Amino acid sequence: MIAFVSGPVAALAPTTAVIEVGGIGMAVQCTPHTLAGLRIGKEAKLATSLVVREDSLTLYGFADDDERQVFELLQTASGVGPRLAQAMLATHSPDALRTAVATGDEKALTAVSGIGKKGAQKLLLELKDRLGEPVGARIGQQGIGTPVTSGWRDQLQAALIGLGYATREADEAVAAVAPQAEAAIADGARPPVPQLLRAALQTLNRAR
């Protein structure tokens, strides 16, 4: 198992970071939240989880060990593979997921792309005794109001700047996709940051 990778950031993409390790570029799949904390040329250390398939070896990277642990625990539920587990962590922080499961918050899980009402109900049952209690605060204090995406504007802007765009370009791209985020909020959902990032990048590509 590759527990972590450490080295300078060689490249960044919407879903991937390349970390130089001993002269080798390691491609690591990351959430927008993790990517937002990386800068090309700067040193980085990511906790990692290697997913082995018959035709592929995929390395997933996380800001810390807690995020990796939740990623792996989520996959113990039937129907949850690495991509869905990563989508869940792109939408909610580890503690927000723990709180959602502990309180039976079905709506929080359906906010994740790819999880419907029945799927959320099944996950709540399967994960109830696996994720444990929130580690950052007691349930009554933490709540679901503090997911990764609660500051979607800052997160999206940081990810764009991390990809090499100027602050002005990032601001314009965030403004361009704001209606999509506001529509999600109006429907009672959380802004889908990964989809917003892709839309923002399309806007920037058209402007060039």
Paired with 52 in beta bridges are 57
Structure token pair of residue 91: 């939408």
Question: What's the pLDDT at 207?
Answer: 57
Count of Cβ atoms closer than 10 Å to residue 121 Cβ? 14
Longest Cα pair distance anywhere in the chain, in angstroms? Answer: 50
Question: What's the pLDDT at 142?
Answer: 38
Per-domain residue ranges of the chain: 4-62, 66-142, 149-207
The DSSP letter of residue 182 is H
Q: In the chain, how many H helices and how many E strands?
A: 10, 5
The pLDDT tens digits of the residues spanning 94-149 come to 888 988 888 888 888 888 888 999 999 999 999 988 887 776 543 333 333 344 44
Question: What's the pLDDT at 147?
Answer: 44
Question: What's the pLDDT at 55?
Answer: 84
Given this chain, do its domains 4-62 and 149-207 carry the same CATH topology?
Answer: no
Mean pLDDT by 10 residues, the chain (208 residues): 91 92 93 87 94 89 92 92 91 87 88 88 89 60 41 76 79 87 77 79 72
Q: Domain 149-207 classified CATH 1.10.8?
A: yes
Question: What's the pLDDT at 85?
Answer: 93
Question: What's the pLDDT at 184?
Answer: 76
Which residue has 């109006």 as its token pair? 186
**Cα separation of 103 and 98, whole Å?**
9
Report the CATH fold assignment for 4-62. Answer: OB fold (Dihydrolipoamide Acetyltransferase, E2P) (2.40.50)
Question: What's the pLDDT at 200?
Answer: 84
**Cα separation of 90 and 32, whole Å?**
7
Q: Domain 66-142 classified CATH 1.10.1270.20?
A: no
